[in-house]
Amino acid sequence: MRGMRFAVAGVLALGMVGLAQAQFRPGGGGGGGGPAFLVGNKAVQEDLKLSEDQITKLKEWGKEFQKKAAEIRKDKGVEFSKGGFGKIEPEMREKMDAANAEISKVAYKELADVLKKEQIDRLKQISTQQQGTGAFTNAEVVDALKLTAAQKDSVKGITGDLAKDTKEIFGEPTKGKPDFTKLEENMKKVQKLQKEYMGKLEDILDDSQKKIWKDLKGEAFDTSKLQFQFPKKKD
């Protein structure tokens, strides 16, 4: 169990370094807060007003879907063993993004057998909020907002700057056991940074796009309830 916690935290940090977003987060069956992870979170279950029967079915589904997600990652060539801690090469990043997209697509399709349409819609809203700035590079969000070529270039530039600033906060990748205290401090810095950059991204939208963006996010959800809790040092 302890080894698993180290591994999960390491994966979380990788996502933060990559764009503070890319998201292989704990249980992220779609990457970083993918639907498979979200439906297993108690706060999300309460928000969706899931019945006990749905929760039971989702628990069983989640166990099986982990295997399917692993197969998708394998098919897409995703490997976690290459590079030091916090390091993801561009080629591997592309493979991870492709795997995440496919996993989410399959997950939502299967979840439709357990969840009601309004629950699926709300789950997608929570996922959009959880993605943060990364949502602006999500294909479905880009299509829904009908971003222009100029806006896409702006998104690329803004998220690129965020990636650079995030990398500066985390520093160079290291091997071995992660420093959880330092990671937690850096995560808080990056979360503050993301709010700043989210404002920049929202500023490039016109009024009609801002309305669509508001609908895509839905009612505010406390995304802090989705964050990984780092192990605390014993006194």
Residues 35-44 pLDDT 10s: 999 999 999 9
On whether the CB atoms of residues 5 and 180 are closer than 8 A, the answer is no
Return the higher-pLDDT residue of 186 and 214. Answer: 214
DSSP label of 133: G
Return the higher-pLDDT residue of 34 and 232. Answer: 34
pLDDT of residue 52: 98
Residue 18 in tokens:
């990559």
Name the CA radius of gyration of the chain, rounded. Answer: 17
Per-residue pLDDT tens over the stretch 1-33: 455 454 444 444 444 444 444 433 333 344 445
Return the higher-pLDDT residue of 19 and 232. Answer: 232
Instruction: With CA atoms as reference, report the closest residue to 29 among 72, 59, 60.
Output: 72
| Residue 85, φ and ψ in degrees, nearest 5 | -60, 130
Question: Which of 10-14, 122-126, 231-235 has the least mean pLDDT?
Answer: 10-14
Q: What is the dihedral of CA 145, 143, 23, 83, to 10 degrees?
A: -120
Return the higher-pLDDT residue of 231 and 76. Answer: 76
Residue 182's pLDDT band, with cuts at 50, 70 and 90, is confident
Answer whether residue 82 shows pLDDT above 60: no
Answer whether residue 87 shows pLDDT above 70: no
pLDDT of residue 84: 45
Separation of alpha carbons 27 and 98, rounded Å: 17
Mean pLDDT highest for which of 9-13, 31-35, 124-128, 228-232? 124-128
pLDDT of residue 183: 84
Instruction: With CA atoms as reference, report the closest residue to 62 among 101, 126, 110.
Output: 110
pLDDT of residue 25: 37
- CA 102 from centre of chain: 14
Separation of alpha carbons 13 and 228, rounded Å: 10
Separation of alpha carbons 23 and 28, rounded Å: 7
Per-residue pLDDT tens over the stretch 159-177: 999 999 998 998 766 666 7
Separation of alpha carbons 48 and 137, rounded Å: 26
